[in-house]
Amino acid sequence: MSQRLKLEVKALNAISGQDLVILVSDALTPPKTAEEWLGEGVRSLLARAAVAERFKGKALSGLTLLAPDGAGYERLIAIGVGPEAERGKLDFAKLGGAIAGRLGHGRSADVILALPDGEPTADQTADIALGMRLRAYAFDRYKTKTKEKDEAEPLTVTLRVSDPAALKKALKAREAIAGGVELARDLVNEPPNVLYPEEFADRAAKLEKLGVEVEILDEKQLKKIGMRALLAVGQGSRRESRVVVMRWNGAKSGVQPVAFIGKGVTFDTGGISLKPGAGMEDMKGDMAGAACVTGLMHALAARKAKVNAIGVIGLVENMPDGNAQRPGDIVTSLSGQTIEIINTDAEGRLVLADVLWYTQDQFKPKFMINLATLTGAILVALAQEHAGLFSNNDELSERLSSAGKATGEAVWRMPLGPAYDKMIDSKFADMKNSAGRYGGSITAAQFLQRHVNDTPWVHLDIAGTGMSSPNTETNRSWGSGWGVRLLDHLVAEHYES
């Protein structure tokens, strides 16, 4: 990930950038604090350009015009924030992304962070800065062609505010969150020949620099523990499987931890039930759940969250060699329950089954939330607009839904029930790992639920949101880092002491 953005925070006492950015309402009224920098000629120029370009100040829309001689800057960029009546719905992180999207590499800009109808809060301006940083992210470490000078140089942005000290304080937490999102994006974007289970584990271990306790369990230890379902997935690969346990102890000793679990299939061929060749390269992203958990642990540690948090990721590579598991095999999971393998491409639930059981048994958490790019069926149901949420706990589900609305990482609760659970009963074992085409996301969740007992639990199916992400105001990357902001917000709102 290249550093494409340099942010500075200064008072509203001068401007020095090539571009000047102001926020305007649907009435095209600039903030009072920006008027002295515009001058009458620029204000009238903005009004004429808005008519010509049909710019009406709609939220997140933009208008760019060349400034007249003597203005003190080269371009004026107006970003819409919509009508005052709808200001409460404005997503300030997206607003920051919209601003960054209008600026160019190698340029400098002053952004006057004032609304037409008053001052935004320090948290709102910090969210704008967060959105700018997320929009500026690019994964280009494997591009070797010489870049143009302006592309190689970062964009330098000076945030002009009335209270720089308050913004700098609020920015500290956002910088931690941005670092977590960027880490998750980097992990998802890495090629599978670079990021295999052992390498992923080594990168997670770097969180020790932030105070996270990291334990890496190798195959010898996993066999001794009894994670036979997880090991069965990776037995066809030359790359050994790993489980990584990350602990952030930000609350008092003895306070019950919260737990986050991630599926980390660093490449998924489907195994013996081989996937079609078209698009298989995307299966490097089948570890987006584990990437999110790792990024979240970074965010919590970097902002010194007052919570005890456990992050556990199961890391495997699903390959089809002569030692790979077969359809028809029966394996015994850590829970002691037996599983008939119907489809070796239904592998993520096998990994999670062992890791979920291990987490609840070892750490007795307040709740468990697992994330996994688990089923293509969730894309059929929800496209890429929501992650599927499955749960045995209403309160936890409602809190996650609220966090999704606050961060823009939306979730949609899906059903569970005895009729669906019956669909994974096996003739030969306690359960089977695939119930067929119908209700595929639900039956996968039912499979996981058999490995959580009564612990409050949520399964997030992020197959539509964690990789191959659509472009948004805050993301232009294939790997989105989805879930880091969602879960950090959940913790901050409800579980910090």
Contact 90, 82 (CB under 8 A): yes
Report the C-alpha gap between 430 and 420 in whole angstroms: 15
- What DSSP letter does each residue of 25-65 carry, written as one string? -TT-PPPHHHHHHHHHHHHHHHHHHHHHHT----TT-EEEE
Exposed / middle / buried, residue 64 (Cβ in 10 Å: 0-12, 13-18, 19+) = middle
- Please indicate whether residue 349 is annotated as part of the active site: yes
Which of 135, 160, 349, 399 does the annotation list as catalytic? 349
Q: In 31-154, at which residue ranges do the beta strands (DSSP E only) sit?
A: 62-66, 75-80, 108-112
Q: What would the 3-class secondary structure string for 154-191 be?
A: CEEEEEEECCHHHHHHHHHHHHHHHHHHHHHHHHHHCC
**CB within 8 A of 54, min separation 6: which ones?**
none
Contact 462, 379 (CB under 8 A): no
Secondary-structure breakdown of the chain: helix, strand, coil percentages, each rounded to the nearest 5 = 40, 20, 40
Nearest Cα neighbor of 315 from 373, 241, 245, 383 is 241
Terminal-residue alpha carbon distance, the chain? 34
Three-state secondary structure call for residue 257? coil
Report the C-alpha gap between 199 and 317 in whole angstroms: 12
Contact 312, 259 (CB under 8 A): yes
Q: Which two tokens stand for residue 376?
A: 């293509």
Question: How many residues would you count in the chain?
Answer: 497
Q: What is the DSSP letter of 472?
A: B
Report the C-alpha gap between 264 and 279 in whole angstroms: 19
* Neighbouring C-beta atoms of residue 418, cutoff 10 Å: 7
Report the C-alpha gap between 312 and 356 in whole angstroms: 9
Q: How far is CA 188 from CA 76, 155, 335, 466, in A?
A: 37, 25, 30, 8
Report the C-alpha gap between 347 and 370 in whole angstroms: 15
Which of 43, 275, 306, 366 does the annotation list as catalytic? 275
- Please indicate whether residue 220 is annotated as part of the active site: no
Nearest Cα neighbor of 92 from 117, 67, 62, 129 is 129
Residues catalogued as catalytic: 275, 349
